[in-house]
């Protein structure tokens, strides 16, 4: 059901992108403002990003199979990376256009009507963007959250453009229009860089956030009173799924059944705290020195 809700929101994002492209293009045609043209160009990126996000989300939701035993959740990072790259491309296009207008300034026309149209487009992005960010965080979807953040960034961009174009109309300083467009380009470069960094972090198996690491420690702490210890704790995030692996050190006098039951109890406690986590445990006797030879990623040499 969660996936269906996210699909609906991404379809809404596509519809919003089409509407804002039409409105912002109209605003540019009415005014001739390169600042408003840059705003329209970013909406084109919104459209492409939303389409990519919808396709990737379907891919990421596919169940695990023989070739992808850990599922397809990491596909979400490709969407965030694609969106970041598209944003950077849009920034370059905007900057080239703005520099040309800076060198060859032009007067603006019908500024009032054009800005009113742009404001309507921004309100559409504001409503859809907030819904996407809220749903993305609720369902831990980096794809949906990234799309929402991009739309909200677009809103702030549009506010800056509207203020800048209005200032041009009031002051008559025509070069302010391309300066505003260059500021827009700089702003979306910042956003694109953040998205690329998030995508790279996910693809590189970055550990779970510190707050989740603290929760894991809180879950494991009470087991110490029962003579159980832990090491080799490793975590990673893969889209909406988290992975946790650790070694469970128990007294060597325990039976295999006792050790297994304890591992099951530890796994259940961690899943209860982090329901979307897949937990792997490995039971070892705490008295055996060999139990400490594999605390690192690569097992220590026994030679």
Q: Is the pLDDT of residue 266 over 90?
A: yes
Q: Sheet harboring 241-250: ordered strands across?
A: 229-238, 241-250, 277-285
1 pLDDT band, cuts 50/70/90, is very low
End-to-end CA distance of the chain: 53
**Rounded-to-integer distance, Cα 163 and Cα 65, Å:** 52
Grade residue 303 by pLDDT with cuts at 50, 70 and 90: very low
CATH number, position 17: 1.20.1510.10
Which runs of consecutive H residues, i.e. helices, occur in the chain?
Answer: 2-31, 34-60, 75-103, 111-138, 142-171, 176-203, 210-220, 256-273
Task: Give yes or no: residues 198 and 214 share one domain.
Answer: no
Q: Could you tell me the two tokens for 122? A: 């921004």
257 is written with which tokens? 């059944």
Number of domain units in the chain: 2
On the question of pLDDT at 214 being above 90, the answer is yes
Range name among 171-185, 212-226, 246-260 with the lowest pLDDT average:
171-185
Tokens of 51: 């389409």
Which residues span the domain enclosing 64?
2-203
Residues 101, 158, single domain; the answer is yes
Residues 218 and 264 in one domain: yes
Q: Which residue has the tokens 């990519």?
A: 52
């Amino acid at each position: 059901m969660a996936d269906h809700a996210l699909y609906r929101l991404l379809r809404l994002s596509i519809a919003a992108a089409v509407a804002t492209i039409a409105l912002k293009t109209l605003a540019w045609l009415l005014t001739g403002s390169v600042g408003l043209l840059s705003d329209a160009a970013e909406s084109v990126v919104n459209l492409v990003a939303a389409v990519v996000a919808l396709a990737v989300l379907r891919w990421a939701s596919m169940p695990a199979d023989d070739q992808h035993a850990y599922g397809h959740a990491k596909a979400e990072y490709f969407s965030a990376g694609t969106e970041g790259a598209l944003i950077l491309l849009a920034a370059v296009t905007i900057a080239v256009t703005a520099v040309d207008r800076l060198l060859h300034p032009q007067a603006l026309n019908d500024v009032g009507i054009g800005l009113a149209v742009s404001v309507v487009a921004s309100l559409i992005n504001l409503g859809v963007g907030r819904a996407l960010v809220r749903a993305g965080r609720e369902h831990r979807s980096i794809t949906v959250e990234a799309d929402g953040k991009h739309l909200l960034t677009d809103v702030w961009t549009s506010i800056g453009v509207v203020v800048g174009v209005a200032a041009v109309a009031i002051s008559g300083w025509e070069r302010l229009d391309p300066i505003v467009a260059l500021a827009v380009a700089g702003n979306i470069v910042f956003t694109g860089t953040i998205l690329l960094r998030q995508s790279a972090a996910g693809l590189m198996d970055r550990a779970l956030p510190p707050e989740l690491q603290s929760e894991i420690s809180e879950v494991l702490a009470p087991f110490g009173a029962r003579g159980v210890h832990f090491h080799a704790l490793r975590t990673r995030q893969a889209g909406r799924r988290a992975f946790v692996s650790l070694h469970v050190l128990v007294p060597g006098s325990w039976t295999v059944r006792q050790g297994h039951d304890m591992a099951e109890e530890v796994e259940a406690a961690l899943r209860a705290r982090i329901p979307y986590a897949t937990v792997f445990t490995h039971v070892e006797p705490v008295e055996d020195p060999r139990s400490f030879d594999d605390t690192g990623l690569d097992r220590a040499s026994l030679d």
